Amino acid sequence: MTATDVPTSSTPAVSARTAAHIEATERYAAHNYHPLPVVLAEGDGAWVVDVDGKRYLDCLAGYSALNFGHSNERLVAVAREQLGKLTLTSRAFFNDKLSGFAEALCRLTGKDMILPMNSGAEAVETAIKVSRKWGYEVKGVPAGQATIITMEGNFHGRTTTIVSFSDDEVATSGYAPFTTGFRGVKYGDIEAVASAIDETTVAVLFEPIQGEGGVVMPPEGFLRDLRALCTERNVLMVADEIQSGLARSGRTFACDHEDVVPDIYIMGKALGGGIYPVSAIAADREVMDVITPGSHGSTFGGNPLAAAIGTEVVAMLEEGTFQARSTEIGAQLEAGFGPLIGKGLSDVRVRGAWAGIDIDPSLMSGRQMSEALMARGILAKDTHGSTVRFAPPLVASDDDIAGLVTAVTEILTAARS
């Protein structure tokens, strides 16, 4: 089979019921995504069911928001109980769930304080604000001059400030003017980071693993070197663990792979168990004390429902079983995908239950691979042309992962024949 024989990315044939849902969504909802033509209605564990009753193995897991699987019994029970009691107070008042959540998340991160928000992008924005304020009030950077070092190929969200330091043209086109105060350097290049730091630098913002880029990891030792550099130069090390954290990489945080503790953790996605938007940053008191009443906030941040779910998520992570299962899945993915290098794949990157595969572009695009997998009952998502990411829920079985590997192998074999 040649590249021209592979099905195109035009919408595959779908049922009338599926087509009706897609047509209504496309008519009334803005086209800020390009979904695969499947309409999901139910989910349980690692599997989802569409409106026609067809089952699919979910190998995206809500971009790692569903680390604990769909409809996780423990999280659903906690959410149901809290829904019948109290869901929102605003931070104008205390609520009886936030204290326990804050204490639990501080225990998990080893930090003194947290600042709860909702979406991941809000948590990144919060980390940026805290870093700048710390730079002015603690480090002594002249007013209005704070700079933050960012990494090429990053993805931290889509707010105007965040896309200001993105190098993705699709994310930035048409949204200028952008927020200043950021300096981009090559991801994983410690010398480039060192050269970019000056007296105005307040933080280095980075992803321990770049998920949107296709599970891209920095060179071994980069995180340790970055920790040492930030300490030496009095710069905050700010780790965006929104996708990489909370057991996805096989450890509680991806930074744990090099025994590194950043000054600020940024968390989201799986912190809400795939049930509710929950995000937060965690830092020690010297950093977090720059936040004072009225200087930052969120109506829903730290609400009782979010806090109840987040507390249970921490309890599940403290047991260690999800981290262990992630490591097991990673070993299976690596053993399955590794032999495909040179046989349809040009590269494979695996860290825990997170894999990125680069497909030979002469065979097919990442979108075409995703569509071929969908036809076989597996849901995944492409990125950057010929790359596909896999992030199955950590409750996926060995048979589930074996089925994924078999499907990718068979699709590539057919394409090469």
Q: Hey, which residues are catalytic here?
A: 155, 240, 269
Tell me how far CA of residue 377 lies from CA of 53, 57, 250, 347, 403, in angstroms. Answer: 12, 6, 26, 24, 10
Residue with tokens 């794949």: 345
User: 374 in helix, strand or coil?
Assistant: helix
State the pairing for strand pair 236-240/201-206: parallel
Backbone angles phi, psi at 114, to 5 degrees: -125, 160
Contacts of 23 (CB under 8 A, 6+ apart): none
Backbone angles phi, psi at 315, to 5 degrees: -60, -40
Residue with tokens 């991806």: 254
DSSP H stretches of helix in 56-152: 61-64, 73-83, 98-109, 120-134
Gyration radius of the chain's alpha carbons: 22
Residue with tokens 């909802």: 29
User: 26 in helix, strand or coil?
Assistant: helix
Structure tokens at 83: 């829904």
Cβ of 353: how many Cβ atoms within 10 Å? 31
State the pairing for strand pair 55-58/236-240: unpaired
- CB contact at 8 A, 325 and 251: no
Distance CA 80, CA 76 (A): 6
- CB contact at 8 A, 59 and 404: yes
E strand or H helix at 236: strand 236-240
User: 217 in helix, strand or coil?
Assistant: coil
For every residue of 192-248, which 3-state class applies, written as one string?
HHHHHCCCCEEEEEECCCECCCCCECCCCCHHHHHHHHHHHHCCEEEEECCCCCCCC
User: 240 in helix, strand or coil?
Assistant: strand
- CB contact at 8 A, 183 and 220: no
Distance CA 302, CA 239 (A): 21
Distance CA 253, CA 82 (A): 28
